[in-house]
Amino acid sequence: MDQGRATHLTAANGGSGVVVGGGGSVGVQIHQSRRLPDFLQSVNLKYVKLGYHYLISNLLTLCFVPLIIVTLIETSQMELDDIRQLWLHLQYNLVSVIICSAFLVFGLTVYIMTRPKPVYLVDYSCYKPPDHLKAPSHSFMEHSRLTGDFDDSSLEFQRKILERSGLGDDTYVPEAMHAIPPEPTMAAARDEAEKVMFGALDKLFSNCSVKPKDIGILVVNCSLFNPTPSLSAMIVNKYKLRGNIRSFNLGGMGCSAGVIAVDLAKDLLQVHRNTNAVVVSTENITQNWYFGNKKSMLIPNCLFRVGGAAVLLSNKSVDRRRAKYKLVHVVRTHRGADDKAFRCVYQEQDDNGKTGVSLSKELMAIAGGALKTNITTLGPLVLPISEQLLFFATLLVKKLFNADVKPYIPDFKLAFDHFCIHAGGRAVIDELEKNLQLLPIHVEASRMTLHRFGNTSSSSIWYELAYIEAKGRMRKGNRVWQIAFGSGFKCNSAVWQALRNVRPSHNGPWEDSIHNYPVKTLSE
C-alpha cells in the first residue's frame, strides 16, 4: 500500500489512534477507545436519516413498481382476439374517436399556450473596479481622519467596525471619496454610476455576443441614487437601445432589490414572447457617504463598497442550449406593515443636518423574522417530502399535545447545493449559517465576497455566484439559493438550477484572485 496516500485509524485496548495523511503527517488522534462507540453512533444516525430521506423521497416509485409489473404481466396475457375486437369497436365508433381526439388536442394546445414560459439566465457579469480605487483599512482610517468631519469617538468606532466587519484590504470606494476633501457632487455620482453600469454591460454584451438592439426589456435597480434622466435612460442613451424597449428604474428598495428586479423581468418575460431582458443591479456611494458622528449612521460607511452586476435573461427556447441557469422560484416577503421593521434601515438627517442611513439595533431580529416568513413560503416549494413530513409532525405534536417541543428546522442542504447569502455584513452571514444549520463551505462564497468586495448591496449575490463558478463547483442539475435582505423590511429569495457544468465567464471578478481564496476570517 502507498504509505504517502493511505489513511489509517486505530483505536483498541485503550490505545490511541492516528490519522496519517500524505507524507506521514499526523492529522487526528483518538486518545481513548471509549470515544469510538460515540463516533459509530453518530455515523449510524447519519445513515439512518439519509435512509429515511431516500425512502420517503422514492416512496411513490417503490409503490408503483409492483403495480406496473403486475399490469404488464396481465397485459401480456391478453389474447390477440381481444385486441382485434377492441380495434373493430373503435372502427365502428369513429365519431367518438374523433371527438375525443379533438378534445385531447384542444386541451394540449391550451396547456402549452398558458403554461409559464421558462426563464433562462444566459450569462451575467460583475463589475471589477480599477486597482487605484482600493481602500485598505489603514488608508480608510487615515482618510477619515484627514477629512476633519469625524471626532475621536467616531474614528475609534469606525476602526472597531472595520476590524470586525469581515472586509479585507482590497475593497473599493468611488473616486470622489479618495479626494481630500471628498467631492460628493452630482457629476461625480453620475460618473460612478456610468463606470459601474457600463463596465458590467460591456463585459456582458461581449461575453454573450448579444447586440444591444436585441434587448426588449431593461430593469435597473439602485436604491439611493435616482437622477433625472433615470439610470435606465442613461443605459438606453449609451447603447442606443431600441425605441420600444420596456425600461424600468427601481429605487429605494434596498439590498434585496436585485431579486425584485429579476422577479419583475420574469413577469415581463411571461407576457412578451421571444425576448431578451437585461437586469442591472448596483448602488451609488458618492452622494450617500455619511459625514456626521451618529454611530448608527457610520456603519454603512464601513461596509458598503463599489460594485454592480448585469444579468441577461431570456425566454427563447433556443437559448436553453447556451444558458447557464433556469429560474425555478422567486419568493418575496415584505414586513413593511410593522413599524419597527419599516424603520430598521432608515435614511434620515442627524441633529446637525447630515444625511445618512441609520441601522437599528433590532436589525438582526427583524431580519430573522423576515427570513422565517420567507422560508415558510419557500420550504414547501423546494424541500423534499421527507423534510416536510418531519416539520408537520413536530408542529402537530406541539399543537395537539401542547408539548414543549423545539420547532423542527428543515434541512435546506437537502434542497440546495449552493447558497448565495447577501454579503450585508459578518453578523448577517453568521446568523443565517447558525439558523439554517449550514456548513462553512455553504457560506464560503458569502464570506469571501464580503472580504474581497465588501457589501456591494443588491449585486453581492452575483459576486457570490461567480465565486462558486470560479471554484469549479457548479455542476449540471445543482440548485442555487440566492437570498437577500433590504430596507422596508424585505427578505427575497431566488432559486436557480444549473443547466450544465458551469464555468466562469471571461473577465470574471475573481479571475485574478480566486487562487488566493478562501482566506481565514474573524468568524472562523
Active site amino acids: 255, 334, 418, 422, 451, 455
C-alpha cell at 128: 471589477
Rounded Cα distance between 183 and 515, Å, is 36
Element (H, E) at 331: strand 325-334
Cα angle for residues 446, 452, 453 (degrees, 5° grid) = 85
Q: How far is CA 103 from CA 98, 100, 106, 231, 320, in A?
A: 9, 5, 5, 50, 31
Label residue 258 exposed, middle or buried (CB < 10 Å: 0-12, 13-18, 19+).
buried
CB-CB contact of 170 with 512 (8 Å): no
Rounded Cα distance between 95 and 147, Å, is 88
User: Beta-carbon neighbour count of residue 27 at 10 Å?
Assistant: 10
CB-CB contact of 507 with 353 (8 Å): no
Please list the alpha-helical segments (H only) found in 402-508: 426-435, 444-453, 460-470
Residues 6+ apart with CB under 8 A from 341: 335, 366, 369, 370, 488, 489
| Angle of the 231-239 helix axis to the 186-208 helix axis, nearest 10 | 50
| Angle of the 257-271 helix axis to the 460-470 helix axis, nearest 10 | 90
Supply the Cα-derived Rg of the chain in whole angstroms.
28
Candidates 169, 176, 184; CA nearest to 135 is 169
Candidates 241, 210, 239; CA nearest to 323 is 210
Rounded Cα distance between 332 and 399, Å, is 28
